[in-house]
Structures are given as structure tokens and as C-alpha cells.
Structure 1
Amino acid sequence: MASVSVANARKNYGHLEILHGVDIDIQDGEFVILVGPSGCGKSTLLRMIAGLEEISGGRISIGGRVVNDVAPKERDIAMVFQSYALYPHMTVEANMGFSLRLAKAPKEEIKTRVREAAQVLGLEKLLDRHPRNLSGGQRQRVAMGRAIVRQPQVFLFDEPLSNLDAKLRVQMRSEIKQLHQRLKTTTIYVTHDQIEAMTMADKIVVMRDGHVEQIGSPLDLYDRPANRFVAGFIGSPGMNFVEGKISADGPLDFIAHGGARLPIPADVPAARGQDVVYGIRPEHLTIGPTGTHADVILIEPTGAETQISLVMGGATVVATVRDRLSLRAGDTLSISADPAKAHLFDAVSGKTLRL
């Protein structure tokens, strides 16, 4: 196991700069997820750590050793790709042990490591099968097993679950997290799915357009987003945003462009008349006898919860409630926001106003 350090890492393709000086420190044994929309540079960064992409500037270190010019096979890492990349003519056992055979490891050692990895992944009864006789989840386990048998310092995962159906993704992300808890190997995982990031990571790195927007634990990012982008990207459904300004007189409240008046957090410095964006998560909106009037436009029951889309203060927002309410589109109701859970963002920079 080893720590990983990325210092001022840059990546250029000709005159086009993809990564703009990325800094990330990953501790020994941490499970870190790089998350962001397509094209943000997260997979490029992972491939640079693996040595599959050249670094244009900066430094990448694994276990305290700078690896900028070190070949991928000498970095002591193992990578699991989006595609399983299994050899169709080989059995599960042969696929898992292939890298060790290339390294000319003793046959008994190969057999022992493969059997140990198969036991961890629940593949003991599948070792004689070929990939064509396996389900998608089983193939992904084999790809993971091939990485495990190498006993690397660092595991790299590049969107490994994106080819699986929704139910299997939930199962596999649980298995990957449990695997990490058992092996305690430093893991860097790339995904565009913020639910995967929230449920699996010790630390999340949110990226956009080749920049790191924020680094922190899942709940840190959820409760204290640094800017509007992070606030909207982390959480499902995403945070609600209403544009407006701080009241010029009277109580220090937020006034939406559509006229709705909402309370603001007591610990957030805001100047009277300042243009801001009010952020509130769906679960922090409450339907009751008092509050701001809102018009229902859509009801989406999910079983345990119901998501209600409303027009409030000229903006469309979503409220998540656990009660079984008798509502339909066109109804008008009263909705209130918990000021202690609200966020204010600068209207121009998008940065949080919270100190």
C-alpha cells in the first residue's frame, strides 16, 4: 500500500490544456473518488497516475517515489477498466493469473493467489468457466480479481460499473467497498455518478473543466459545498437554486426575483441589496399551513418518499417528503425552508458566502 500525491499536474494536447494544475494528496489506504461531468478530466488524470498518459507538467508520486517517467508496469499499480477486457479463450482462473504468468511467477504461487482472490470475490465455483458463460457482474469480479492477484500498492478503477444495469450497480458498489475494507489498499476510483461517490468514498474530489472544485468527505461536500457547482452536482435530487437578492430594508431575508421571501442562515454574512442565489436541498423544504405559496407541477412517488416539483418565487424547486400527500398538478400549497440548512452563493462567482 502507498500514498499518492498529485502536485500541479497538467495535461496538454498540443495547445489545448485539459488539466490545469491539479493538486491532490491521497493517504495510504484511502478510498478516493474522482467525480465530475463528462469531459472534466477525471479519466485523463487517472490514466496519468497509471502511466498510460504522459504528464505535461507537475509531479505524480506513488509511495513517495516520483513516477513521471516510470513505465506503467513498474509503478506497482493495478487498473480495472470500464470494459472487462477478459481473454475469451481463457478460463476465469487463467484470466486472473495471466499477469503473474507474464511475470514468470512460480505456478504454485499463481494458483494460491488466484484461489485467495477467488475466495474474496466469491468466484471459487466459476474458475473453470469462460467469460462467455458469465454474467456482467461476474465478469467484473473477474476483472477485479485479475487486479487483486497482483497485490499492488494502488488500485485504479475507471468507471467500472457503467456497463451494468441499475440493480447490479448497487450490488457491485457495495462489494467493491467491502473489498476495500478487507484489503485496505489505496484506491482511486473514477465515476460520473455522484451516488457512487457518496456511498463509496472516504474522500471525494469534484472536478470541472480540468480544475478541482472541492475535496472533502462525502458529507462535507453535501453539507458545506464550496460553490454552486458542487452544491448542484452532489446530491440526488440536486440542490434547489432560487435567484434574487438580500432585502434592502426590514428583516434580513432573501427575496426571490419572483417575490417569494425566504429566511437566511444567521451565520452567513450578506450585504443588504446583494445579488445572491439561495440554495436549499429538497429534504429541507417543508409543506405546512404557513410559508411561501407554491404551485404543484409534478408529483413523483418513489415508495418511501415523494418528490414534488413546484414553482416557488419564479423558480422550479423540488421538495422531498415522506408523508403520503393527496396532491395533484395545479394545487397551491404553502412551503417553508429551514434557514439553518440554507445556503447563499454569490450571484456572479457562484462561491458560497458561508465562512
Structure 2
Amino acid sequence: MAPVTITKARKAYGHFEVLHGVDIDILDGEFVILVGPSGCGKSTLLRMIAGLEEISGGDIAIGSRIVNDVAPKERDIAMVFQSYALYPHMTVEANMGFSLRLARAPKDEIKRRVLEAAQILGLEHLLDRYPRNLSGGQRQRVAMGRAIVRQPQVFLFDEPLSNLDAKLRVQMRAEIKQLHQRLKTTTIYVTHDQIEAMTMADRIVVMRDGHVEQIGSPLDLYDRPANLFVAGFIGSPGMNFIPGKISQTGPIEFVAASGARLPLPEECPAERGREMIYGVRPEHLLINQGGVDATVSFIEPTGAEIQITAKVGTTQIVASVRDRIVVRPGDTISVGFDVNTIHIFDAQTESRI
């Protein structure tokens, strides 16, 4: 196990720069997830840590050693890919022990470590099978087992669950988290799925356009997003945003572009007349308990809750409710706001106030 320190890391392809001085400190034994939309640079950064992409500037250190110019095989890392990358002509046992055979490890040592990894992952009864005889989840476990037998200082996961169905993804999320709790190896995991990030990570690194937007625990990011992008990216459904400004006179209120007046805390730090964006998560909206009128657009029952999409003026919002309320498209409902759960963002800087 080892900490990973990324200092002002840059990556450019000719004149096109994709990472702009990234700084991240990952603690020894920590499970950190890099998350963001496609093209934000998260997979490129992971490949730079692995040594599969050259670094254009800055430093990457594993433990106390800067590895900018160290070959991938000498970095003491193990990587699990999205595509499994198993050898079809080799058994599960041979696939898992392949890297140890390349390193000329003793046969007894290879067998022992493969069996230990197989027991951790529940693969003991599959060691004689070939990849073509395995399910997607079993293949992913084999790929993880191949990484475990190397006993690396750092595990790297590159969107390993993207090829699995929804139910299997939930199962594999739990298995990977339990594996980390057992091995306590420093883990860096890349995904575009913010649900994966929220449920698995000790800390999340939210990236956009080659920059780090915010680093924090899942609940820190959810409860205290640094800016509009993080607020909208973390959470499903995403946070509702209503444009408007702080009232010029009278009580301190938020005046939406539609004219609706929404409550603000008495100690709101924003200056009067300033253009702002009012943010509230779907589960914090109060339906039919007073407030502003909204017109229902459509309803999505999910079982545990009902998601109601409605319009306040021209602004579309989503509410998540657990009560079995009966509404139909075209109905008018009232939407209330609790000042203890709202977020206010500057319309120009997009920073949270």
C-alpha cells in the first residue's frame, strides 16, 4: 500500500491540452473515485498514473517515489480494465497467475496466491474454466483476481462495471467495496456514473474539462457542492436550478424569472438585486403543502418514490416524493421550499454562496 500524490499534472497532445495542472493527494489505503462526464480527462489521468500515457508536466508520485519516467511494470500497480482483457485460450487459473509466471515466480507461490485470490472472490470452483464459459460478472472477478495476485501498492480501475447489466453492477459495486475493506489497498477508480461514486468512494474527485472542480466525501459533495456543475452532477435526479435575483426591496426573497417569490434565509449573504440561481434537490421539495403553483408535465413512478416533473413558469423542476399522491399531467400542484435545504449560486461565477 502507498499514497499517491499528483502535483500540477498536465497532459497535452501537441497544442491541445486535456489536463490543466491537476493536484490530488490520495492517502495510503484510501478508495478514491475520479468522476465526471465523458472527455473530462479522468481516464487519461488514470492512464498517466499507470504509466500508459506520458505526463506532459508536473509530477506523479507513488509512495515516496516520483514515477514520471518509470516503466508501467515497475510502478507496482495493478489495473482492471473495462473490457476484462482475459486470454481466451487460458483457464481462469492461468489468467490469474499469468503476471506471476512472467515474473518467474516459483510455481508453488503462484498456485498459493491464485488460490488465495480465488477464495476472496468466490472463484475456487471456476479455476478450470475458460473465459467463454463465464458470465460477465465472473469475468470481471477474474480480472480483479489477476490484479490481486500481484499484491500491488495501488489498484487502478478503469470503468470496470460499464459492460454489466444494472442488477450485476449493484452486486459488483458491493463486492469491490468489500474487497477494498478486506485488502485495504490504495484504490483509484474511474467512472462516469455518479451513483457508483457516491456508494463506493471514501472521497470523490469531480472533474470537468481537465480541471478538478471539487474533492470531498460523497456526502460533503452532496450537501455542500462548491459550484453549479458539482451540484448538478452529483445526485440522481440532479438538483433543480431556478434562475432569478434577490429582491430589491422588502423582505429578503428570491424572485424567479417567472415572477415566483421563493424563500431565503434571513441571513442570506447575497446582495439585493444580484442575479443568482436558486438550487434545491428533488427530495427537498414540499408538494401540496403551500408555496408556488406548478403545472405537472409528466410522472415517473419508480416504486420506492414518485418523480414528478413540473413547470414553475418556464422553468422545469423535478420533485421526488415517497407518498402515493395522485396527480396527472396538466394538474396544478403547489411546491414549497424549506430554506434549510436550499442552495444559492452566483449566476456569473457559478460558485455556491
Residue of structure 2 equivalent to 1:155? 155
Residue of structure 2 equivalent to 1:324? 324
**CA pair 77-249 structure 1, distance change in 2 beyond 3 A:** same
Residue of structure 2 equivalent to 1:116? 116
1:173 aligns with 2:176: no
Residue of structure 2 equivalent to 1:38? 38
Aligned residue identity for 2:102 = L
SS of equivalent to 1:118: helix
Summarize the alignment of residues 247-326 of structure 1 with structure 2, pairs less than 5 Å apart: 247-326=247-326
Contact residue 265 and residue 343 of structure 1 kept, 8 A? no
Instruction: Note the alpha carbon deviations across 1:222-242, whole angstroms, 9 max, x for none.
Output: 000000000000000000000
SS of equivalent to 1:116: helix
Contact residue 297 and residue 329 of structure 2 kept, 8 A? yes
1:267, distance to aligned residue in structure 2 (A)? 4.8
Which blocks of at least 5 consecutive residues in structure 2 are unaligned?
none
1:290, distance to aligned residue in structure 2 (A)? 1.5
SS of equivalent to 1:245: strand
Summarize the alignment of residues 112-151 of structure 1 with structure 2, pairs less than 5 Å apart: 112-151=112-151
TM-score of the two chains, using structure 2 as the length reference = 0.99
Distance 2:102 2:83 in 1: 21
SS of equivalent to 2:2: coil
Aligned residue identity for 1:133 = N
**CA pair 84-289 structure 1, distance change in 2 beyond 3 A:** closer
1:65 aligns with 2:60: no
SS of equivalent to 1:226: coil
Residue of structure 2 equivalent to 1:241? 241
TM-score of the two chains, using structure 1 as the length reference = 0.99
**CA pair 35-266 structure 1, distance change in 2 beyond 3 A:** farther
> What is the CA RMSD across the aligned residues, in angstroms?
0.7
**CA pair 212-268 structure 1, distance change in 2 beyond 3 A:** farther
Contact residue 305 and residue 323 of structure 1 kept, 8 A? yes
Residue of structure 1 equivalent to 2:13? 13
Instruction: Note the alpha carbon deviations across 1:9-55, whole angstroms, 9 max, x for none.
Output: 00010000010000000000000000000000000000000000000
Distance 1:264 1:121 in 2: 51
Which blocks of at least 5 consecutive residues in structure 1 are unaligned?
none
Residue of structure 2 equivalent to 1:204? 204
1:264, distance to aligned residue in structure 2 (A)? 1.8
SS of equivalent to 1:341: coil
1:288, distance to aligned residue in structure 2 (A)? 2.3
Residue of structure 1 equivalent to 2:333? 333
1:313, distance to aligned residue in structure 2 (A)? 3.8
Distance 1:91 1:267 in 2: 66
Matched residues, number: 353
Aligned residue identity for 2:103 = A
Distance 2:79 2:268 in 1: 44
